[in-house]
Structure 1
Amino acid sequence: MKTVFAFDIGGTAVKFGLVAEDGRLLKQGEVPFERDLAFAALCEQLARLYEDTMAGSPADALAVAMPGFAAPDSGVVIDGGGNVPALRDGSITQALEQRLGLPAWFGNDGVAAALGEVRYGAGQRLNRFVLITIGTGVGGAVIIDGQPIIGRNGHPPELGAIVVGNDDAGEPLSLEARSSAPAMLQAYACQTDAAAVSVRQLFEQAEAGDAAAEAAIDATCRGIAQAAGALINALMLEAIVLGGGVSGAGEALTRRIRMLLPAYVWPSLAAKVDIRIAELGNTAGLLGVASLAFEGLAASTHARGAWQAAKS
């Protein structure tokens, strides 16, 4: 059985793991993302993670999920990806191919996470849904008839750019600016003299009766509900699937969004849509981008077989 070693590079952590063709995660780990790392240092870090994890037993290919839009022909991030600036300075997949001697594939992290859910998680039972990933940034993907909707050149949807209101200066406020993890913590800090806490602690404080924590979470959930409502109204979705680090709050998150959603959705559509947490959690991106590599390996094998048949 073929295996792919996958990386999922985010604004706060680099997740990695060895994925089997049937979707089993055979090995996995996570290290903090160092924002100040230069491109060459990031490449070396990823290569060493592979070498240390595999200990001389090579995978068949590599796969990298990353934020923003990477040029299809090079893998260099050319739009977005502000939380991982080093990816704009070179092709991470080309560098890893040269360093490790393995073929490498790449994809947008939100689209990869949605593919993971479609092929191995919550999306297996859904035809039309949107995955919204909420973490250091906000991303995700639109799935129609089991396939991600992307631009002709591979550009992923920019769900974090959906406008959900106005800021204090009257300027348009994006979903990412309102509902990402940093935005949630900043909203709390603006109401209190307390130091910023983790999102998990914020939910715990809200459950314990902290009004400022509850207000910060409510603002976040209202932004998600507003964006989700627009998508449901336009696309007649079966579900909104929530992923990313903030989705670790589970029912405490989905309960609030369910309560807010009817204000933004046509009633007959609201009655049919489900709000659920991604089944694969933080492994969705790894599994999804690995599936792209498996497809690439299969296509390469088919092409070699066709060439050999034509030659004989």
Structure 2
Amino acid sequence: MEEDNVLAGAIDIGGTSIKYGVLDNHGKVLTKSKTPTDVKGGGPAILNQVKDLVRALQADHELSGIAVSTAGQINRKEGTVIYATDSLPNYTGLNIKEILESEFGVPVTVDNDVNCAAVGEYWKGAAKQVDQFLCMTLGTGIGGAIVINGEIYDGAAYSAGEFGHMNLYPGGEPCTCGDEGCYERYASSKALSKRARSVIEDYNSLPNLFWRAKNEDKLAESVINRWVDDVALGIKTLVHIFNPPMIVIGGGVSEQGDYLLGKLEQRVNNRIMSSFERSLSIKLAQNGNDANLQGAVYQLLKYMK
């Protein structure tokens, strides 16, 4: 197969929506769209959705393979879901790779969505040509990925990078993992929204919160500052453990650009040892949702070589 002829169907499965499209071997997004995830139907219904989406893509493109990015802990060698929370019911245990390869007869790769985001930023984004870095996504929860020598570090059970379950405040808020005081209960974008709603009477959205703060609303800025302090506290721990040259921050809040980055850099640098500060770069993800699709395709291309 000539590399220039490779077109991949890319699927990104989340608890709210499924994003999908066709990418070429250079990471260029040729088409993309999204549809609500059939969460009520659970895992089998979601896989049926994916099959329908792939068939729709095949109607217009000759696909050489299928690249899947998905929420959950994923054994990417086997393409199985090791564990998924209730946001994707009856998803744990599904062998996505086997199901799709049997249906479509083309190579399929499957990986965790944050791993895909990290690899996408490595291939075409903020971490291009950086062989060692951490990627952290701030969303409903906090996801993480560890890249060493240009490769995802999986851990013993393909579950490395659960940054969101570092213990930030012992005895704090109950977490979905069964413990208390976990990082994502305080530093996720969901946690920021919860903070804002508790103190701002007319709060309606995170973009509006940041807009207000940038326009000198002191209450909005104080909420964001307290949240950034908690984000920085977790980053301090990661920096002192891994000593990475770069941390890439993704998720919807990464769209806040220099305003957020400046606050993060200041608070992280105030917390870490000075010897670490000199070697650390914090960057915001560049490619948004495209990074998940690009990273999934990057993994597929490596698998097909």
What TM-score, normalized by structure 2, do the two folds share?
0.87
Q: Is the 8 A contact 2:72 2:81 kept in 1?
A: yes
List gaps (5 residues or longer) in structure 2: none
Q: Is the 8 A contact 1:254 1:277 kept in 2?
A: yes
Matched, 1:135 2:149: no
Q: Is the 8 A contact 2:15 2:88 kept in 1?
A: yes
Distance 2:87 2:216 in 1: 33
Aligned to 1:33: 37
Aligned to 1:265: 272
Q: Is the 8 A contact 1:245 1:282 kept in 2?
A: no
List gaps (5 residues or longer) in structure 1: 299-312
Counterpart of 2:169 (choices 160, 165, 182) is 165
Q: CA deviation at 1:123?
A: 1.8
Q: CA deviation at 1:99?
A: 3.6
Distance 1:32 1:204 in 2: 28
Q: Is the 8 A contact 1:111 1:156 kept in 2?
A: no
Matched, 1:92 2:96: yes
Q: Is the 8 A contact 1:21 1:294 kept in 2?
A: yes
Matched, 1:284 2:291: yes
Q: Secondary structure at the match of 2:48?
A: helix
Aligned to 1:307: none
- Change in 2 beyond 3 A, CA 1:24/1:72: closer
Aligned pairs, number: 297
Q: Is the 8 A contact 2:172 2:182 kept in 1?
A: no
Q: Is the 8 A contact 2:138 2:188 kept in 1?
A: yes
Q: Is the 8 A contact 1:5 1:19 kept in 2?
A: yes
* Structure with greater helix percent: 1
Q: Is the 8 A contact 2:74 2:80 kept in 1?
A: yes
Distance 2:90 2:226 in 1: 31
For 1:73-222, list aligned pairs within 5 A: 75-88=79-92, 90-166=94-170, 172-194=180-202, 197-222=204-229
- Give identity over the alignment, percent: 26
For 1:224-239, list aligned pairs within 5 A: 224-239=231-246
Distance 1:243 1:20 in 2: 23
Aligned to 1:241: 248
Q: Is the 8 A contact 2:136 2:250 kept in 1?
A: yes
What TM-score, normalized by structure 1, do the two folds share?
0.85
Q: CA deviation at 1:166?
A: 4.5
Q: Secondary structure at the match of 1:15?
A: strand
Distance 2:132 2:79 in 1: 28
**Match for 1:185: what amino acid?**
S
Distance 1:156 1:108 in 2: 11
Q: CA deviation at 1:5?
A: 0.8
Distance 1:71 1:271 in 2: 36
